[in-house]
Structures are given as C-alpha cells and as structure tokens.
Structure 1
Amino acid sequence: MTSPLPPMIEAALAAGEEIERLYVEGCEAEEKLDGSPVTIADRHAELIILERLARAFPHIPVLAEEEACAGRIPELGQLFFCVDPLDGTKGFLQRNGEFTVNIALVEEGVPVAGVIYAPDSKLLYYGARGEGAHKATGHGGAEAIATRPPPAHGLTGIGSRNHAAAGTAERNAGLGIIDYVPSGSSLKFCLVAEGLADVYPRYGPTSEWDTAAGQAILEAAGGRVLALDGEGREAGSLRYGNADRAFLNPNFIAWGR
C-alpha cells in the first residue's frame, strides 16, 4: 500500500472544517448511555470521515466512535481504521479549543498511521511507520517532529484536564515527573511526540478511538505507548481491535524517547 496519510489528512481537515463551523455557531449536547456528551458536530464529522475513507479505501472497515456506540460495528479483520470524529467533546462544549479529529490505521492490532487535527488552532499532526511524524498548521508546510531525550533534572508529564484519576500525583512522582501540564483530547500524545513533554500516564478509562491516532504519531516520532497490567507494571504495547472488552483500553503510559 502507498502511504495512507494523504486521504486520512484530507478527511480530518474536512471534518475539522465542519466542527469549527458548528463551534462558531454553537450547538447543544445530548447525553449518551455511558453518560458522556455528544453533539451534532460529532455526528456530522463522523459522516464526513466515513464518506472520505470509504471513497479512498473501499475495502477497509472503519471502527468509529458514534457508529460503535449505536451498535454498528463492522467485522474488523487485520486492517481497519479507528476514528474519533471529535475527541474532547467536553473541551468543545467548554469552548477551550482542546478538541481534535482522530483517524488511525490499525494493522494486526498495531496503529501504523495516524492523523490528529485540532480545528480551533488549525494544528495538524500526522505520522506513520517508516515515514516519521510531522506537524503542520492547517494547509501550511509541515515540519518533522521527534521525541526528546529525558531531561537530567526530571520529566515533564502531561495528563487529562477533565479525567485525572485519584492517586495520579503520587504515581507521577514515582515516574520521576517533576512538572505536570494538563491538556485535553489527544493533543497530549502530540505534545510528547514533538518533545514538549516526556510522558503521558493514563490511569483511567479510555476507548481505542481515543488513543489509536496518538499512539501511531508518537511511535512514529520515536516514543512508545505501553499498557499497564493490574499491578501497574508495563505489559507491552497497547493493542487494538479488542471487541471482547468493548474496545476499552487498560491503563497505559505513553513515553517519549
């Protein structure tokens, strides 16, 4: 397969334009069965992405958040797309700009290409196995990004603005984190990928569509995303397509270099 990134980027930018339009106009939220919010921006963006991916990759199934929440889950196989059309819906509703479009290509359980677009700031991140990772502003030129070596004085950690679990501060201290930056949506992975932070530990529930694109970009930039077992020990790379656990991730740590 030639690089899947150009059609993925096109889909993310198109979805982002619709999200930004609705962000400016304003829209109401509904509550899903799991208690999380959803808006017409989520739904419109997902339809745009599904249409673009189906046109470019007609034989590759798509695991998409709103479709999955409605019970429409395709047979995934060894190659599939994993999509969160609007990651950070709370940030969208709070109007803090911290929301993204996430599109990943997963092969044999591993994210091998990812695109993350932040519509409000027009920041675009993308990366793929063998192609490295890049950052661009909207439709502008791209620059290569990479994780940084761990600073000798201690690590900068990044974590959720809205979903920090109890005991996070104590666990962070045990990892050697001396500075902690809160952020929303999948931008946390991007900040580690471009060397602005060193580690993103997550001790709380996430779904595969929340993390697949970020993992692909971070690993293309030189990092790793490791699942944690029940004792909090690193237990290998975070993997995808786990219908048996409703596509929920275990706790994990996303490391820079």
Structure 2
Amino acid sequence: MPARDELLKRLGVDIDAETLRLALTHRSYAYENGGIPTNERLEFLGDSILGFSVTDHLYRKYPDLSEGELAKRRAAVVSTRALAAIARRLGVGECIYLGHGEKVTNGKNKSSILADTMEALIGATYISNSLEEARCLVVRLVGPLLDDAAVMGAGTDWKTHIQELAANRQLGAIHYAVVGDGPDHARTYTATLSIGGVPYGTGTGNSKKEAEQYSAADAWKVLCPEESGVIGSVPGQRESAGGSA
C-alpha cells in the first residue's frame, strides 16, 4: 500500500487525492515545481479548527478546571512540539512533498514542517468531509495528551523542572552529556542527563537544546512516575539508564 494511503489509514479519515496532495505540498516543493499551490491555506484553516476543537473538548471534559488551567492545557497540545510528535508517530514526514533543499536538510523531520502539515491535514479533513469529522480527528489525535496530570510534555520546560526537583531532593549536580551524529546538514544529537553522577534520562533531537529537553523529560518519568502521563510519547526519548516508568 502506498505511503500516503497508509497515512490515511492511520489517521482514520478519507481525504480525496487532490486535497490530500495539497495538504502534503510544502512551499519548497511548490517553488521548485512552477509555483503550484501549497498547503499553507489548508494549514491556516486547520489551525482554526484545531484551536476550536481542543477548546470545545477541554470545556466539556474538564468542567472544574479554571480558565487559566484550560488555557495552559490547550497551549500545550496545539504547540509545535506536540503536533510534531503526533506527526512523527503517524509517519507524516515520509509523505510530505519537499523541495530538494529541504530534503537534504532532513526537512521531513523538522518540527515546524511536521506541525504545519498536521494542521493542513486537519484542514483537508474538513474540506473533504465535515467539521464534525475534522473535530473527531483532532480529539483522537490530542485527546490522550489532555489527560496528562503534568500538563503535557509538549508544553513543559523539563530542564527547569528537573533542576528544581534535583535541588529540592538534594540529588546532586546536574550534567548533560551531548554527542552529535550524522552529516552537518542532517545532524542529530543525543543527550544523557546525570544527577549526582547517576544517569536518569536520554533524549535525541535535531539540536543540542532539544535533545537536552527530551532527556530531562525522560528523567522526570523516572523521578516522578506518578506524574509522567504521556511524556513517554514525546519523540527523541529512549528508556533511560535509570529505569522506566
């Protein structure tokens, strides 16, 4: 089965071939192919549907949460990091039409491109079906994230949380060991977080900063397993040397 048909199967929706191709057409590909239409208009549409659907779901599911808490949870699951994580899980990157420049710089794994494409796919679902179908897609994709007691790994500064936790528990000094791998145009980094000389978390990302954040999130699973929630679904994480939740 072609990759794009597999993607529709994983999404659980039907999108006509023309609209699907448009949703997966990045501007770099459009520029190199005579200025054909890009997915940016669908992205604009999908962004609005995403925001509304998440807001509606939060309002109905969490009647006791304050406006501030609702806003925090919404911001977390509509963030670039959260959407990119969902896209990676679905294999969206392999299906995007990219220009040569983006291909050689690993554009299929760039968080910004993945997140924008996810929004375009939401918009395409609305165009090919209905608002209700698009809303249901959003709930299926982000619903699990909304149940995380730690307010979702996608919207949390885990390095700061780990630093505060280590200080409160007097665990010792924090150290991130980061190594890079791959060619300069598609380099990935792996960070290992140690506290007091003991390794607790490992994470991989497209930058040193991203790898460190993922390793800190991984360490949080070990140190606070009761609050780890959906952290394990964040891309770039591996089972840590210190154990798993």
TM-score normalized with structure 1 length: 0.28
Which one has the bigger helix percentage? 2
TM-score normalized with structure 2 length: 0.29
Which one has the bigger strand percentage? 1
Q: Which has the larger radius of gyration?
A: 2
